[in-house]
Amino acid sequence: MRVSEYAEYDATGLASLVAAGEVTPSELMRLAREAHDEVNRQINAVMEFYEDAETVAGADGGLFHGVPFLRKDIGAAEAGRLQEKGSRLFKGCRPDTDSYFFRRAREAGLRTIGRTTTPELGSSVMTESILSGVTGNPWDLERAAGGSSGGAAAAVAAGITPIAHGSDGGGSIRIPASWCGLVGLNPSRGRVSGGPNNQDRSYGLTREFILCRTVRDMAAALDVFSGPHPGDPFIIVQPNRPYVDELLKPTGRLRVGVARTSWGAVNLDQEVLRAVESTATLLQKMGHTVQDIDPPYEPVEYSSLYLDPTTASGLEKAARAMGRSITANTLEPANLKRYEFCRDLPLSLAADVQEALRRMRFRVGEAIHAFEILLTPTMPIVAVPHGGIYSATNPAVSAEEYVEADTAICQYTGVFNVTGQPSVSLPLAQSASGLPIGIQIVGRFGDEATLVRVARDLEDARPWGDRRPTVRAGNS
């Protein structure tokens, strides 16, 4: 198999070749290395390709037997491997515990071969940091790949691996999926365990999952990574059948709420709006009932969640554990300002954050209760150029400006981290200049099954598999 052939397969396809004896896991590791060596210098998505990648552990068999996989440099951890969170504050840090997420990855046959870039502390929609540099979008290297799972998205879009780990606390899987032309699901709160060390972390806002190129890979990954573990704070309703079986089930007729207006301070681009309207028309033709919805929350409700005194106390505790200080030499400008702002807040305000979360969940829940799914833009605009107000490396932005800018551009994503609902970005459209436009489908809490079926229908009706970014393994 040549690299150009390898890059055309999704994870399910590669695993089927391994099962049929047409290729071996070690051959796939070699091909992933070749793909990395060909494109990573251009996109800077993989900050470490393991020296022992061709011998990493992974079960024989499983849904993803022998498939190369990448780990985001924040969130779920591998024991003994570097996890620096995109920050000089954590440089050289090696967790001593495996996350359940990576135990399940190995049990499914995945081979984790390296780690991908992330903005410092996963705090930005721009994957650029002092520690690891700027990650370019394979569709246009002058533009952002998104964040905070931007390295993962760029690596998958460019064909280094067909699937990669990501995490999402306000859009960090869906944003890079939208800007890099991928499938990016943020599961329901509690669907994927954060254990043994991070169950329901960040007030339940953050979840672990993957980025991929096909709906069938998304469904298979749900089967691989879903399920409760001892110590989880609650057990979400479990599926009636494997998610891959949902690919063969009828969708039925659904009530669809459609967002055609801005939900924040960044105006909705007309090309993105046309993509939403076109998708709404398609869903109508499929037999679903479509109705417009108003913004279900006020931006100030969301932005207030990210100036939280526990942010500072958590960083201070981590710095002490490593014998380091929080200074301009360890934190990037915007994150340092945010830390200093939060450090001066009374810890009693943490209770106000909890109450703000409760109120927002209630208000949004009431506003969208009538619908089985929602249809929204993933992002209000296409991928932006590097730098600017969204970058944590920008010394000119204040803590308040940084949070407000992030809230504005994440207007359709972060709200569903608060509510805990599953939401997926699908690469259903492109701009006139060829940049990907992601469309977000949101399900009811615990109902990933409906999202799988709707995503399958949309992929069948408007397939995206033949689109190729400018930078892609095997192109040269």
Q: What residues act catalytically? A: 72, 148, 172
- Partners of 209 in the beta sheet? 166
Burial 89-113 (b: 16+ CB within 10 A, else e): bbeeeeeeebbbbbbbbbebbbbbb
Q: Which amino acid is at 216?
A: R
Longest dimension (CA), the chain: 61
Q: Strand 183-186 relative to strand 111-116: parallel, antiparallel, unpaired? A: unpaired
